[in-house]
Amino acid sequence: MTDPSRDRCDATYLVEHYRPGVSIDAFRSTVERVRSAAEAMARSGSRIRYLHSTIVPADEAGFCVFTASSCDLVEQVYARAGVRFDRIVDALEL
């Protein structure tokens, strides 16, 4: 069965965060701000959906994945959340 909410979004984006010394709790807090911003934008009609996040403590890196109609929407989520990121790249969910 197809997830109808996914059909509203056009592409998958991976957001990279590289933070020396970041703790799991600090990254979790960042993710919550980003997720809340994405949900608020979606409620306002933007075609964006937060999917999930992963932290790799040994590499001091975290990653967030979204589906959205454009990379600009992902950038807007981060601006709204007041969170910086290092890079946004197109990604494929397999």
Q: Give the separation between CA 38 and CA 67, rounded to whole angstroms.
A: 10
**19: three-class secondary structure by DSSP:** coil
Residue matched to tokens 């981060």: 78
- Establish if 13 belongs to a structural domain: yes
Higher pLDDT, 3 or 36: 36
In a domain, 63, yes or no: yes
Query: What is the pTM for the complete model shown?
Result: 0.87
In a domain? residue 26: yes
What value does the mean pLDDT of the chain take?
91
What per-residue confidence (pLDDT) applies to 13?
97
Is residue 3 domain-resident?
A: no
Number of domains in the chain: 1
Does residue 61 surpass a pLDDT of 70?
Answer: yes
| CA-CA-CA-CA torsion sign (70, 74, 79, 85) | negative
Please indicate, yes or no, if residue 45 is contained in any of the structural domains.
yes
Whether the pLDDT of residue 8 is over 90: the answer is: no
Q: Which domain holds residue 21?
A: 8-91
Domain of residue 28, CATH code = 3.30.70.3090
pLDDT at position 10 is: 83
Is residue 2 included in any domain, yes or no? no
Q: Which of 76, 62, 3, 60 is nearest to 28 (CA)?
A: 62
| Position 46 in a domain | yes
